[in-house]
Amino acid sequence: MNLYTYASPANFYHLAGKLIPWFAWGAGLLTVWGLYISFFLAPTDFQQSEAYRIIFIHVPAAWMSMFIYLVMAFWGAIGLAFNTRLSFMMARALAPTGALFTFIALWTGALWGKPMWGAWWVWDARLTSELILLFLYVGIIALWAAIDDVKRGDRAGSLLTLIGAINVPIIYFSVKWWNTLHQGSSINLTKAPSMAAIMLQGMLVMAIAAWLYTIAVALVRVRRIILERERQTDWAKAILEAE
């Protein structure tokens, strides 16, 4: 099997159609399992009692907001360097989901901050850089929407994505580099996680569910983008007429 076959939009359209149900079902089942762990199996926390449970949404959303941005930047770079059409379409398909997760991370963070810290919002380095990430997503989506010429739009949007990518390590390391109100990471590569095993398990299941959800909706979106851009071709015409 030659993987490059799937760099052709027509072939990828059909492959994506076959993959979507798997990712969608996986996301649904893991969300149910993850929420069950979060609400029923995970114990109360020693200092935040029940309020900490928002972590099961907050942390996976925050991880996804940063990870999706890096994937967009990756596709943008590939597209700019090799002029591959499908990479730009992937970047466009991911952006709305990235913006959604950024918004969820900020929103659940505010809901968590008020009872625990005593403030909905503070201008510390972590919160501010995450807000900048939301502005970047919105800016990129707006830029794509504002440029009618598809190719020029692709290049402009991907360039902005690449420039903004510098913000992602700043978000991630902000709690290490500066003193912030936001606490440090509970999970990292250099030491054992500082949370009980069952809590960690719930968070990871929710994170994988968020991954699968992201892949599923990005594939749905990229299929629509492919059809829109290939509407002059016979195969796309046939599908559009059948709809």
Partner 1 sequence: MKSRHKKLLVIVLGVAGLGIAAALILNAFQSNLVFFFSPTEVSAGKAPIDRAFRIGGLVEDGSVKRDPDGLTVRFVVTDTAKSMPVIYKGILPDLFKEGKGVVAEGKIGGDGVFAASQVLAKHDENYMPPEAAQALEQAAKAQKSLVQ
Among 5, 183, 228, 237, the residue binding partner 1 under the rule CB under 8 A is: 183
Among 5, 44, 120, 135, the residue binding partner 1 under the rule CB under 8 A is: 44
Residue 31 touching partner 1 (CB under 8 A): no
Among 111, 147, 181, 208, the residue binding partner 1 under the rule CB under 8 A is: 181
Number of neighbours of residue 110 by Cβ within 10 angstroms: 13
Residue with tokens 């503070």, as numbered in its chain = 122
Whether 76 and 163 have beta carbons less than 8 Å apart is answered as no
Region label for 191, one of left (φ > 0), alpha (ψ between -120 and 50) or beta (otherwise): beta
Residue 152 touching partner 1 (CB under 8 A): no
Whether 126 and 182 have beta carbons less than 8 Å apart is answered as yes
User: Stretches 8-16, 31-39, 43-51, 230-238: which one binds partner 1 (CB under 8 A)?
Assistant: 43-51
The CA dihedral of 208, 54, 72, 180, to the nearest 10 degrees, is -130
Whole-angstrom distance, CA of residue 50 vs CA of residue 40: 11
199 vs 227, beta carbon nearer partner 1: 199
Whole-angstrom distance, CA of residue 175 vs CA of residue 183: 7
Footprint of partner 1 on 105-144 (CB under 8 A): 115-119, 122-125
Among 82, 232, 238, 243, the residue binding partner 1 under the rule CB under 8 A is: 82
Q: Residue numbers of the site for partner 1 (CB under 8 A)?
A: 43-48, 52, 55, 77, 80-83, 115-119, 122-125, 162-163, 165-166, 170, 177-181, 183-186, 194-196, 199
